[in-house]
């Protein structure tokens, strides 16, 4: 069994020093810390699939408009004719000649 | 619908602009119109269900504030090596609050010193050594030479 701390245990340790601070405020600060942790690589690695649409260049990664919360994309694969996902390269110079509106 | 790309890596590429991922291709007709021909970058030409697989670093899920105040079975959505660091972060912010609110200069300066102490521990565990603490890589390594075909 991994030695994990529940949120209750975290709050109780903080209450040793700050007994009068509301728990909801502590949870808000814990959430702030989690966002901060997410900025550093390898905290939470995930993947997602999306449909490609013919003649559509742009696919949203906006946290508010998609079901996933993306901090940094580090690899993209595309399905080949056999149904396998193959890594495609990242284009370093994104100033391509023909550009669609975002 | 399955993809018609046998070797997508030869035609497709991606890049990011702001909150958007672009998928582009060099595939095109050999006698096509200007900027639609083979070799020019343009929007992907195929609709493929689940055709794109994105690997990304995500944000840990936030903790919902419980009306009943029961957090006994709620765990932070990060590796357990980082759980104790959350205590340091919250204390660091609470000591900062205390320093800002206290009318007594001595209490404020002590609170500020404590805030700095916890901030240092937080920075050390998450920023400085965070990768080492949660990295699960171990054992011998093998160097894979680049495929120059």
The more confidently predicted of residues B112 and A69 is B112
In a domain, A21, yes or no: yes
In a domain, A95, yes or no: no
Tell the residue number behind the tokens 């046998």, with chain if given. Answer: B6
- Of A29, A61, A97, the residue nearest B24 (C-alpha): A97
Question: Which distant-in-sequence residues (6+ apart) come within 8 Å of A21 by Cβ?
Answer: A14, A15, B94
Indicate which of A2, A4, A10 best probes the interface with B, i.e. most B CBs within 10 Å of its own CB.
A10
For residue A33, the enclosing domain spans: 7-38
B85 DSSP β-pair partners:
none
Is the CB of A43 less than 8 angstroms away from the CB of B20?
Answer: no
Q: What is the pLDDT of residue B100?
A: 93
Q: What is the pLDDT of residue B91?
A: 96
In a domain, A44, yes or no: no
Q: What is the pLDDT of residue B133?
A: 62
- Tens of pLDDT along chain B (149 residues)? 678 999 999 999 999 998 899 999 998 877 667 777 788 889 999 999 999 999 998 888 889 888 887 888 889 988 888 888 999 999 999 999 999 999 999 999 999 999 999 999 999 888 776 666 666 777 788 888 888 87
Q: How many CB atoms lie within 10 A of CB A83?
A: 11
In a domain, A12, yes or no: yes
User: DSSP labels for A72-89?
Assistant: EEEEEEEE-TTS-EEEEP
Sort out which chain B residues have CB atoms less than 8 A from A73's CB and list them.
Answer: 14, 16, 21, 54-56
Q: What is the pLDDT of residue B78?
A: 86
In a domain, A63, yes or no: no
Domains held by chain A: number:
1
Q: Alpha carbon A31 to chain centroid distance?
A: 14
Mean local confidence (pLDDT), A35-64: 85
A8's tokens: 């209750």
Q: What is the pLDDT of residue A66?
A: 66
Global pTM reads: 0.76
Is the CB of A76 less than 8 angstroms away from the CB of B90?
Answer: no
Least confident of A12-21, A64-73, B71-80: A64-73
In a domain, A30, yes or no: yes
E strand or H helix that includes residue A7:
helix A7-15
Indicate which of B39, B51, B127, B137 best probes the interface with A, i.e. most A CBs within 10 Å of its own CB.
B51
């Amino acid at each position: 069994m991994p030695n994990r701390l529940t949120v209750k245990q975290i709050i109780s340790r903080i209450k040793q020093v700050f007994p009068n601070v509301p728990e909801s405020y502590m949870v808000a600060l814990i959430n702030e810390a989690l966002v901060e942790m997410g900025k550093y690589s390898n905290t939470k690695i995930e993947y997602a699939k999306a449909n490609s649409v013919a003649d559509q260049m742009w696919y949203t990664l906006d946290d508010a408009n998609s079901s996933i919360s993306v901090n940094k994309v580090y690899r993209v694969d595309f399905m080949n004719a056999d149904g396998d996902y193959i890594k495609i390269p990242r284009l370093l110079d994104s100033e391509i000649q023909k550009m669609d509106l975002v | 619908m399955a993809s018609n790309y046998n070797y997508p890596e030869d035609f497709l590429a991606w890049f990011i602009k702001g909150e958007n991922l672009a998928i582009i291709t060099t595939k095109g007709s050999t006698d096509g119109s200007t900027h639609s021909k083979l070799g020019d970058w343009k929007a992907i030409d195929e609709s493929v269900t689940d055709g794109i697989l994105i690997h990304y670093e995500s944000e840990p899920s936030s903790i919902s504030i419980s009306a009943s105040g029961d957090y006994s079975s709620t765990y932070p959505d990060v590796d357990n090596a980082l759980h104790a660091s959350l205590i340091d972060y919250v204390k660091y912010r609470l000591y900062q609050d205390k320093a800002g609110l206290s009318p007594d200069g001595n209490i404020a300066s002590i609170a500020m010193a404590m805030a700095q102490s916890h901030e240092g521990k937080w920075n050390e565990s998450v920023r400085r050594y965070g990768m080492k603490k949660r990295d699960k890589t171990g054992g011998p390594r093998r160097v894979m030479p680049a495929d120059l075909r």
